[in-house]
Amino acid sequence: MKPNKPFNSFGPKGLLIAIIVVVGLFAVLIQLKDVAKDIGTISYKEFLDKVRQNQIKKVHKSGQFLSGLTHDNKRFETVVAERPGDFDLLEQHGVDFSVSTPSMSTGAWHLFLILGILMLLAIVSGAYFMRQMKNGMKGGGGSGGLFNIGKSRAKMFLPSMIKERFSSVAGAHEAKEDLQDVVDFLKDAPKYQRLGARITRGILLVGEPGTGKTLLARAVAGEANCPFFSVSGADFIEVFVGVGASRVRDLFAEARKKAPCIVFIDEIDAIGRQRSSSVGGGNEEREQTLNQLLTEMDGFETSKDPVIVLAATNRADILDKALIRPGRFDRQIVVPVPDLVSREEILKVHLQKIKYVADLDIRGLARGTPGFTGADLANLVNEAAIIASKKNQEEVTMYDFEEARDKLMLGKESKTMILTDYDKKVTAFHEAGHALVRLLMPKDTDPLHKVTIIPRGRALGVTHFLPEREKYNRTKEELLASIAAALGGRAAEELAFNEISTGASSDFKYATDIARDMVCDYGMSDALGKRVYIDSYERKGGFSEKTYELIDAEITKILNEQYDVAMKLLSENRDKLDKLSYELLEKETLYAAEIYELLGIEPRVDLRLVK
């Protein structure tokens, strides 16, 4: 048998039922009001005239109020005068009449009914909000209700709910190694305290979106087998000043009860942004929230068991200095965009969720995705599976991954774009120019992967190059070769058609950026010496106009020289340019092996490739 619940323990569902009942009563009242609308009010003289005209059928007198019914069944009301002779008049004209003691009129009855319904609604609502206030004062969790607005919105995960471990995180080897210290301390704090070591109070995970910062934080909690509080920085901010600070206090109060534990604040830049030096302004709520966070992190010493704060951001440069000083966020751990080895590991994790061909070149797939984050790689695998499913395939092939990568990087293949034969020919020579210049340049450049003239997104064609390894340093010759290859498309157009088009706009931007970095940042200009100019060049300050003119002249010189290099290579190999261009017109997409065989060029072999 279920115990009876007290009246004040009903929740939102009970309040909803009560409101429905009240609304039903209002509906009944409206019906009664509609009936009342059929009763007309007339003057007493008009009533007597109707009696004399034999229009009145029946009347009833109650005090001074008289109600009745006409022969055509219309109801009426009037106020009577105390004249006994009028009853003789009613009797003479055959009116059926009756008399009773005074009672409430219809209008007064409606008024009392409305007041009763309003009182009932006030009692029900008051009981509900009193219950909410009582729970709020007791510190009950949750974010529902007006009186819980200052409660923390963090979600707590018990150790049994956290399945992630460091083994669940592919790549990020250095970050996992740094976080292992936190795991060790949470598991065995006396090991460090016996020598007087103080564990890091806060750790800031810094990295681009999608690099796995949240996953790493959950893995730390999983490894340490401790409770995990997760909240976003935006969850602290509210329109009411002081609410954010209240939520911070509540979060850390709950965390200390569950210590040792981990508090994870995602997107901490939402509340940790650099405070304004001006007085007042529209950031008072955010700054109060930040001040409370700083205070709570300083107060960890009062807790016997450790509470570790992990926070994530991709904008560490805008955080308040007081937040990232030693004693609060002692460490900043960079979670980088995965390198070649890490991308291969991440792909293997996501590939476990789909069916793919046995001979899938995972290493080649990792090489073809430089700059992809873990989230990007997960999206790539899913997109490839979708493409294969549309074609009713049993397994996902390398071609599906190529298609998915091109779609994510360049856009969906444009099947409705209608190009003239001349436009296709120009595009074919343009892309052939890029590819051929790259093939004929020094061996330390990225090797060719494929060339296509199928329009995608805003590009009419694309030439792909795949890095053989992760490159952390590039030589001057390699940069010059990249510029020449970028300008090879325009050079091929001019050589084949003796005219130029607008298709090389993005190529010029890419080439100009490299040349500018060489001059202003890498110290690769003999005329300007071994120094950095890039900051001042952007801000237009700190150097004379002559220096700026020299910088512009050096950039232009590099671009013109490499354009001449591209033009010379293509002129000397015009037969290869024509052969590759017409083969592209016929097949639309050519892979590196096909191009090597077509042009009789020895395939690239990089002896420095790290297996």
From the list 595, 593, 590, the residue with the least C-alpha distance to 573 is 595
Question: What is the pLDDT, as a whole number, of residue 320?
Answer: 85
Query: Do both 473 and 594 map to the same domain?
Result: yes
Main-chain dihedrals φ then ψ at residue 325, nearest 5 degrees: -75, 160
Is residue 435 domain-resident? yes
Question: What is the pLDDT, as a whole number, of residue 102?
Answer: 62
For 20, the domain range is 1-138
Query: Do both 370 and 267 map to the same domain?
Result: no
Low-confidence residues in the chain, pLDDT < 70: 1-40, 63, 82-84, 101-114, 117, 124-150, 152, 238-241, 276-283, 299-305, 413-418, 442-444, 457, 468-470, 534-542, 604-611
Query: Do both 329 and 350 map to the same domain?
Result: no
In what order do the strands lie in the sheet containing 589-591? 462-465, 448-452, 589-591
Query: Do both 86 and 25 map to the same domain?
Result: yes
Question: What is the pLDDT, as a whole number, of residue 607?
Answer: 36
Do residues 90 and 51 make contact, with C-beta atoms less than 8 angstroms apart? yes
Question: What is the pLDDT, as a whole number, of residue 606?
Answer: 47
Per DSSP, 413 falls in state B
Is residue 611 domain-resident? no
From the list 469, 433, 468, the residue with the least C-alpha distance to 451 is 433
Domains in the chain: how many in total? 4
Do residues 434 and 460 make contact, with C-beta atoms less than 8 angstroms apart? no
The domain that holds 82 is classified in CATH as 3.30.720.210
Query: Do both 293 and 325 map to the same domain?
Result: yes
For every residue of 502-527, DSSP letters joined together read GGGHHHHHHHHHHHHHHHHTS---TT
Is residue 150 domain-resident? no
116/574 Cα distance (integer angstroms): 97
Query: Do both 379 and 450 map to the same domain?
Result: no
The domain that holds 483 is classified in CATH as 1.20.58.760
Query: Do both 512 and 558 map to the same domain?
Result: yes
Which token pair is 187?
């598991």
Per DSSP, 162 falls in state -
Query: Do both 117 and 167 map to the same domain?
Result: no
Question: What is the pLDDT, as a whole number, of residue 82?
Answer: 66
33/36 Cα distance (integer angstroms): 5
Query: Do both 260 and 389 map to the same domain?
Result: no
143/164 Cα distance (integer angstroms): 27
Is residue 610 domain-resident? no
The alpha carbon of residue 147 and the mean position of all alpha carbons in its chain are separated, in whole angstroms, by: 29
Write down the residue that tokens 């994790």 correspond to: 349
Residue partners of 277: CB distance under 8 A and separation at least 6: none
290/301 Cα distance (integer angstroms): 19
Do residues 526 and 539 make contact, with C-beta atoms less than 8 angstroms apart? no
Query: Do both 375 and 428 map to the same domain?
Result: no
Query: Do both 161 and 65 map to the same domain?
Result: no
Is residue 606 domain-resident? no
Catalytic residues, which ones?
431
The domain that holds 390 is classified in CATH as 1.10.8.60
